[in-house]
A and B are shown apart, each in its own frame.
Chain A
Amino acid sequence: MSAKPPVKDWAADFDHTDPAWNRDPFPIWDDLRRRCPVAHSERFEDGAFFPSRYADVREIAYDTEHFSSRRVIVREKKLSQLVPAPPITSDPPEHRPARMPLLPAFSPKAIERLMPGTRALCNRLIDSFIGKGSCDAAIDYAQHIPTRVIANMLGVDEEDGDRYRRWIKLALEEGIHDNAKVMQSIKEMTVYFSEELAKRGDKPGDDLISFMRDQRLDGQPLTAEKVIGTLRLLMIAGIDTTWSAIGSSLWHLAQHPKDVARLVAEPALMDTAVEELLRAYAPVTMAREVVKAVSINGCPMKPGAMVLLSFPAANRDPEMFPDADKVLFDRQENRHAAFGLGIHRCVGSNLARMELRVAIEEWLKRIPRFRLEDPAGVTWSEGTVRGPRTLRVAWK
């Protein structure tokens, strides 16, 4: 897709869409952390930085004075207009009023109510392939779980997942290289949600679309742009991310029968195991735009430059996590940053954790022994969200 030359020097010319990075980024990050903890690249408009240490990622996540969230994706060419998707693209003071109304819908209590339905969904999916002895765990299983759960929360057709996932691929993957694809995705989603809003009219409803329509700020209804921006965000953020976390976890388990045996024998280990899988395979890398000159770990950054905020790399920093490169299901102290740090903590973190846990639990109940059918054939998504997109596994 990209005609760019392969990366030779990760420190001065990194590319987070390079095939080598997609396949196995961990050795690249380990190397950068040792010799150039804030890497740089001119492959992206106005330049981009890649801090790989936990402490630096944390400092940036907390610093809303020098780093803005108005752009959260690093693209070859910046979009000529800002596309708000509040609250993820909001900075203080607009951030809090955009975020607060969403929180009750994603609180631990609200999410617990979705657990039985999610378990049933996982089992219906497993029913559809268990007799075959093999499946694509990314396509036949992982991708459907968050897609259907968020479609039900939004109140849109859960059978339309292919369309939703196409929008996301255009916005987050292909759109890194081609802004026309991002704008096409945004346009199609805007039309889609406008139609969904029109369908509802003023009728009361308990889905998230009706909920956003009914929000008031200082007594005034939100603008259509804000409502639709947030709806686009909920759909984009709710699908690829958790799909990736479930897929990466199954990829790990398929290759580590001892970890599987331990989880089956000690179900109480599930809480720390899920946290460890989130640490080791955190799917989401966000970004910030420098808005005021600043220096991070001795590296000067000018306004306009983009900074990849790699929670996945931070989570692999041995300064923060002993044996950072090992997946230890009984890791007791785990301050991982899979859901971000600071005011932009993932609004859907309780939902994602629930889905990941339930997806693994139900899978292991039905398929406690399985393996990769074609290790070399596993493919990974590119760029902003990392997870397997084909993942053949077998159990017969």
Chain B
Amino acid sequence: MAGTKVLRVRVEGGLCQGHSRCCAVAPELFEADDVGNARAKGDGTVAPALEAKAKLAIANCPEHAIRMSQD
């Protein structure tokens, strides 16, 4: 939709140490791989209803490994 901004989350692979907090706080947005490191689900798009949860995941990452961007 023209003029609508899309929020996305992304986990910095080099920073994530696998605390799994994002997966617990926002399971709709994050999942763990086989070694327990986190990644964003799909293309990381954050539905408007999940924006608060995305921010909560960021606020609970001990490694500051989650980035949110708008495009």
Count of A-B residue pairs with CB < 8 Å:
55
Structural contact, B59 and A109, CB atoms closer than 8 A: no
Chain A residues with CB under 8 Å of B6's CB are: none
The digit string for B5-45, where 1 denotes a CB below 8 A from any CB of A, is 00000000000011111011100000011111000000000
- B36 in contact with A108 (CB, 8 Å): yes
| Min C-beta distance of A48 to chain B, whole Å | 25
Q: How large is the interface on B (under 10, 10 to 19, 20 to 34, 35 or more residues)?
A: 20 to 34
Contact B36 A332 (CB under 8 A): no
Q: Contact between A345 and B17 (Cβ–Cβ < 8 Å)?
A: yes
Q: Is the CB of B60 within 8 A of A334?
A: yes
Q: Which residue of A lies closest to B61 (CB)?
A: A335
Which of the segments A99-107, A125-133, A141-149 contacts the partner chain?
A99-107
Tell me, rounded to whole Å, the shortest Cβ–Cβ distance linking B31 to chain A: 9
Q: What size tier do the contact residues of chain A reach?
A: 20 to 34
Contacts of A64 in B (CB 8 A): none
| Listed A/B pairs (29) with beta-carbon separation below 8 Å | A103-B18, A103-B34, A103-B36, A104-B34, A104-B35, A107-B36, A108-B20, A275-B21, A332-B56, A333-B56, A333-B59, A334-B59, A334-B60, A335-B59, A335-B60, A335-B61, A335-B62, A337-B62, A339-B62, A341-B62, A341-B63, A342-B63, A343-B17, A345-B17, A345-B18, A345-B19, A345-B63, A349-B19, A349-B20
Closest 7 CB pairs of A and B: A103-B35, A107-B36, A345-B17, A333-B59, A335-B62, A108-B32, A108-B20
B binding-site residues for A, Cβ under 8 Å: 17-21, 23-25, 32-36, 56, 59-64
